[in-house]
Structure 1
Amino acid sequence: MGIIGEKLKIDFVISTGDNFYDDGLTGTDDPAFHDSFTDIYTADSLQKPWYNVLGNHDYRGDAVAQLSPILRQIDSRWICLRSYIVDAEIAEFFFVDTTPFVDGYFTDPKDHTYDWRDIFPREKYLQNILEDLDSALKESTAKWKFVIGHHTVKSAGHHRNTIELEAQLLPILQENKVDFYVNGHDHCLEHISSSDSELQFLTSGGGSKAWRGDVEWWNPKEMKFYHDGQGFMSVELTQSEVDIKFYNVFGTVMHTWTSSKQLYFTI
């Protein structure tokens, strides 16, 4: 990853959640922050801003600790908020806190304890996320629009589709002509092309472990790529073109997808 980052001269890194396994951080002084982040991503090319979202495993620990400015004082690369926007000029990245959408974490937590501070009343919290996202997308003038969340919307992997996001988030993405939804959660690399819109679903959840063989059949007209091993992805953008690449753990390119948009000029 560091080698590829150097070749591409990357501007920043995005983490799709589950930042600390298995149960998040215990606090801002948890040594896991160093063991799983600061002391791991040491390559010169990776000394750039890291934009993070919270995953369900992060909520099993002290989720608020990951949002604390104290961590950024420890490592200035670390940027983590619940839902926020990163303006990269030709592209905007809309980060969404997806974990509170999943009903099962509330109704059937399976002996896990979740840090739901600042989430309740849940219905209002979710409504605010959706309304703010919809408004921000409508106001955006960026050439490319990315929405980043931890949970899948469409996936053939272990967790399959997240029905709550299909019902509540997907219509907003489609209505506002979002180009890409990028997620983690499933421990695989995956590219699904929507059959009814230009929306592309990109799963990058192979940064640590992978679930080999855990894949469900998907329409091959939509499934552009699936890899049940470790790896990561890159995005290169210009005003008129986006280039997506998926790499295995050795940095070998396994899948490339390129798209372009017309540029219009008025005089």
Structure 2
Amino acid sequence: MQAQGISRRRMLAGAGGVGTAVALGAFGVQATATAADGGPEKFPLPDKSELKVLVTGDAGTGEPEQYAVAAAARKLCEERGVDLAIGLGDNIYENGPEEDTDDEFTTKFEEPNKGIDVPWLMVLGNHDTSGIIPGSGGRPSRGDHEVAYHRHSARWYMPDRYYSVAVPERAPVAEFFGIDTTPLSSYVLQTDPEYQWDGPFARKQREWLASSLAASRARWKFVFAHHPLRNNGTHGNAGAYEGIECGDYLSGKHVKKLYEEVVCGKAEFLLGGHDHTLQILDTGADYRGTQQIVCGAAAKSKGKAAEPENKAFWEAYDTLGFMMLSIDADRVVTDAYTVAPETAAYEHAYRHTRTTRLAG
């Protein structure tokens, strides 16, 4: 999401929902196997304690690179098996869908991912919620179309703008908390009071996330969103995105505050995209054990920050790719794969194993 030459954040700096648990609908109604009356039957959430989870981000261009990465991921899933997939935002470039039946859902999600027939846990990115300026994140209401698309798709899973999924439901080995960080870090000021940094949406989401993390019985907790907290790519760390530390939106300082006050020390993993890179950062000793993973190279690639600040186990820049999480009660294994766009061939690049859980 980096503009060519001067970044969009630097250019603009001078110019100045109720969360849903897996068992509940938006109003506490028991979830069903169908997306809606007359809608397609949803691919079922897994009911097992050993999971394989595909992770991709910033995928929705509809270009050959997206199709190549999806083809490589599909081949790996056929070989290794897969139970869930996670999409880390920027699902529909450049400005998000015009309506919940927009044909871009077909060309930029359904067709590329055909054959990866599991629930795809999706969150919104800045390109999903834009208006006149592509990628600005300045029209959050457009994200409602992607929430509504949940009713129309077997694989697309976004019952609300923020929600949780515990697997298996009765004694979860993992719980995934999807949140919407785009109103907190747009490239323009938010004019809709609902989505301002201190508005009703931000307050409700924060309260929901804090209480949901505290109540979770899962052995492993994963918070996933579009914007990362820590990042060695060109966007930089939250609170100083693009090197900008002023303003309530451009800097991402409210994303940083949300993560540091609500997520750090409460979830073992924080998954983000936004930067078109692959990064497995350290296990977060300075962040109370919360480990950052960045996986935003499913259709585009982008280089490394001039002065990266974060310790990393492994990083890859200027390459396409995706990741796979293998989760059981004792460990989470993160495998990173790079992809050659010309051949859609994947290559295993790195494996990281985590066995340490947070207390509580």
TM-score normalised by structure 1 residue count: 0.86
Contact kept, 8 Å, 1:130 with 1:169, in 2: the verdict is no
SS of 1:132 mapped into structure 2: helix
Runs of 4+ with deviation above 2 angstroms: 71-75, 116-124, 213-220
Equivalence for 2:213: 137
**1:64 Cα deviation (Å)?**
1.4
Judge which range, 28-37 or 179-188, deviates more: 28-37
- Give the alignment partner of residue 201 of structure 2, picking from 102, 105, 125: 125
Deviations 1:70-114 (A, max 9, x none): x3454211112211001012010011110111164316xxxxxx9
Contact kept, 8 Å, 2:178 with 2:225, in 1: the verdict is yes
Aligned partners of 2:336 and 2:219: how far apart in 1?
A: 22
Equivalence for 1:67: 147
- Give the alignment partner of residue 181 of structure 1, picking from 258, 270, 279: 270
- Give the alignment partner of residue 190 of structure 1, picking from 279, 292, 308: 279
Equivalence for 2:161: 82
Question: What is the root-mean-square deviation in Å for CA atoms of aligned residues?
Answer: 2.1
Aligned partners of 2:197 and 2:146: how far apart in 1?
A: 21
SS of 2:264 mapped into structure 1: helix
- Give the alignment partner of residue 174 of structure 2, picking from 57, 74, 91: 91
Matches within 5 A, 1:220-231: 222-228=311-317, 229-231=319-321
Aligned partners of 1:257 and 1:231: how far apart in 2?
A: 16
Partner letter of residue 140 of structure 1? Answer: S
Matches within 5 A, 1:147-226: 147-163=223-239, 164=253, 165-176=255-266, 178-193=267-282, 194-196=284-286, 197-211=288-302, 213-219=303-309, 222-226=311-315
Matches within 5 A, 1:53-64: 53-60=123-130, 62-64=142-144
- Are the structure 2 counterparts of residues 126 and 74 from structure 1 closer, same or farther at C-alpha, using a change threshold of 3 Å? closer
**1:29 Cα deviation (Å)?**
2.6
Equivalence for 1:110: none
**1:198 Cα deviation (Å)?**
1.9
Aligned partners of 1:77 and 1:120: how far apart in 2?
A: 31
Aligned partners of 2:216 and 2:127: how far apart in 1?
A: 31
**1:124 Cα deviation (Å)?**
2.6
Identical columns (%): 27
- Are the structure 2 counterparts of residues 139 and 104 from structure 1 closer, same or farther at C-alpha, using a change threshold of 3 Å? same
Deviations 1:25-75 (A, max 9, x none): 1112321111111111122xx11111100000000163211111xx34542
Q: Which structure is richer in relative contact order (CA contacts within 8 A, separation 6 or more)? A: 2
Contact kept, 8 Å, 2:233 with 2:277, in 1: the verdict is yes
Deviations 1:137-161 (A, max 9, x none): 1111111010001001100112111
Structure 2 alignment gaps of length 5 or more: 1-72, 132-141, 240-252, 340-344
Equivalence for 1:22: 94
Contact kept, 8 Å, 1:184 with 1:204, in 2: the verdict is yes
SS of 1:252 mapped into structure 2: strand
Aligned partners of 1:60 and 1:73: how far apart in 2?
A: 22
Matches within 5 A, 1:20-59: 20-43=92-115, 46-59=116-129
TM-score normalised by structure 2 residue count: 0.65
**1:122 Cα deviation (Å)?**
4.6
Aligned partners of 1:121 and 1:85: how far apart in 2?
A: 22
Partner letter of residue 111 of structure 2? Answer: D
Structure with the larger strand share: 1
Partner letter of residue 90 of structure 1? Answer: V
**1:118 Cα deviation (Å)?**
5.3
Equivalence for 1:265: none
Structure 1 alignment gaps of length 5 or more: 108-113, 263-267
Partner letter of residue 289 of structure 2? Answer: E
**1:167 Cα deviation (Å)?**
2.1
Equivalence for 1:240: 330
**1:218 Cα deviation (Å)?**
3.0
Partner letter of residue 268 of structure 2? Answer: D
SS of 2:335 mapped into structure 1: strand
Contact kept, 8 Å, 2:184 with 2:197, in 1: the verdict is no
